[in-house]
Amino acid sequence: MQTVDVGELAVSAYRKVAPDWIVEPLLAVADRLRGARVIHLSATPYGGGVSELLRSAVPLYNDLGVRATWKIISGEPAFFAVTKKLHNALQGGTEPITDAEIRLYEETSRRNAEQLSADPDFADCDFVFVHDPQPAAVLSFSDTTGARSVWRCHVDTSQPAPGAWDYLGKFVEGYDATVFTLPDFVPPTLPRDRADIICPAIDPLSPKNMSLDDRTAHAVLNWIGIEPDRPLVTQVSRFDPWKDPLGVIEAFRLVRPEVPGLQLALVGSMALDDPEGWEVYRSISDASRDDPDIHVFTNLTGVGNVEVNAFQKFSSVMIQKSIREGFGLVVSEALWKGTPIVAGRAGGIPLQVADDTGGVLVDSTEHCARELLDLLQDPGRAAALGASGRERVRRHFLLPRLLLDELTLLDGLAH
């Protein structure tokens, strides 16, 4: 089990961007928890929404006086293939999970539990926050301590495969609290009073979201092969079938004849816990081969936070054509840069794009193409949607609000 190194952040810096009505109560609840110790347990230190959240949240917990560490479970690639199947089953995937795979999941969880039980941080911690299905079973096999436990579900569990909760539920029911992004995601077998609803949030000051001037964004993209003088639409996401990258390519091809010079960038990350990423990458490469207007980038070819920032800032319109989506940090990231988005009406996306705010929700590839074309041809409307989206993110989806909600939950468990 690895402890992830994180930097140092100061909550005071967020006063300039987040509303006071969030920062003030955050300081008050943190004061009540001062000195408490928290472990966040997840599956990967990079390459997806959970690591994005923890990298900023953990240092801020510490700045607020709550001593937090972030630990990563370990497992063979075969273990992560099983956990990805579990993740997919929770989102409605129907690929069966075999008895041997269940054994592997439980054996690996047991091994991680032994390591956690032997970890000095665990012996005297007050709260353990476990993220997603990958580490969900670990606490069932670890030593009992006085720590209160929270399971945080980041995925869209509105339409799970039959039986998915029957299995995972027996681990989840052992937690003192659970957290979902939407009430619709709470499984019917879990008592509602044990389920909190908390939305994720973005860090407005991280390298991915800090303000980038046009010249820098232009230069960063030019350097990696985007032609800055041509219109650009982009989807940023893990290479995952639920994000429908092939649907994005199809929608782009429907729009391209109407918009001279249009380019598409698909920016995707490979995460340690997501072996399916390579298969999806191959299918995207096959679908875009010999098409000079489609650019495919990954974190493994040098596209990091600043490049993602530049794509989100510089694109005329962002796309997030998800079919299932717990929340979709990439949506708030785009809106925070004032860039409008055309996004799938799925899971937590409508929380961010709503009531003519931020962009347009779509239900099919043709619908996506139509709305994309409309926004590309009406820059005034696109700019207005981007501006309203940024304000919505400022009010609801910046990190101090997430910290306020999480610390309020921990405070409730402690007192």
Binding site for ligand UPG (CB under 6 A): 48-50, 52-53, 154-155, 200, 208, 236-238, 267-269, 299, 303, 305, 308, 325-330, 333
For residue 192, the number of C-alpha atoms closer than 13 Å in the C-beta half-sphere is: 3
Q: Which is nearer to ligand UPG, 46 or 141 (CB)?
A: 46
CB of 242 to ligand UPG, least distance (A): 7
| Distances in whole angstroms, Cα of residue 405 to Cα of each of 25, 157, 314, 413 | 10, 21, 32, 13
| Distances in whole angstroms, Cα of residue 120 to Cα of each of 39, 67, 135, 233, 292 | 11, 14, 19, 48, 54
Q: Which is nearer to ligand UPG, 325 or 371 (CB)?
A: 325
Q: Which is nearer to ligand UPG, 142 or 309 (CB)?
A: 309
CB of 61 to ligand UPG, least distance (A): 17
CA 321 – CA 309 distance, rounded (Å) = 19
Vertex 294 angle, CA 252 and 277, to 5°: 95
Q: Which residues pair with 104 in a beta bridge?
A: none
Q: Which is nearer to ligand UPG, 200 or 386 (CB)?
A: 200
CA 336 – CA 211 distance, rounded (Å) = 9
CB of 120 to ligand UPG, least distance (A): 29
CB of 340 to ligand UPG, least distance (A): 17
Of 208, 207, 281, nearest to 243 by C-alpha is: 281
Q: Which is nearer to ligand UPG, 37 or 401 (CB)?
A: 401
The distance of Cα 55 from the centroid of its chain, to the nearest Å, equals 12
CB neighbours (10 Å) of residue 302?
10
Q: Which is nearer to ligand UPG, 93 or 268 (CB)?
A: 268
CB of 307 to ligand UPG, least distance (A): 8
Q: Which two tokens stand for residue 80?
A: 């992560």
CB of 234 to ligand UPG, least distance (A): 10
Q: Which is nearer to ligand UPG, 37 or 208 (CB)?
A: 208
Q: Which is nearer to ligand UPG, 179 or 373 (CB)?
A: 179
The H or E element that residue 319 is part of is strand 317-320
CB of 270 to ligand UPG, least distance (A): 8
Q: Which is nearer to ligand UPG, 126 or 358 (CB)?
A: 358
| Distances in whole angstroms, Cα of residue 110 to Cα of each of 32, 35, 104, 120, 264 | 34, 30, 10, 18, 44
**Region class of 161: left (phi > 0), else alpha (psi between -120 and 50), else beta:** beta
CA 364 – CA 41 distance, rounded (Å) = 36
CB of 180 to ligand UPG, least distance (A): 10
CB of 152 to ligand UPG, least distance (A): 8
CA 138 – CA 168 distance, rounded (Å) = 12
Nearest residue to ligand UPG, scored by beta-carbon proximity: 49
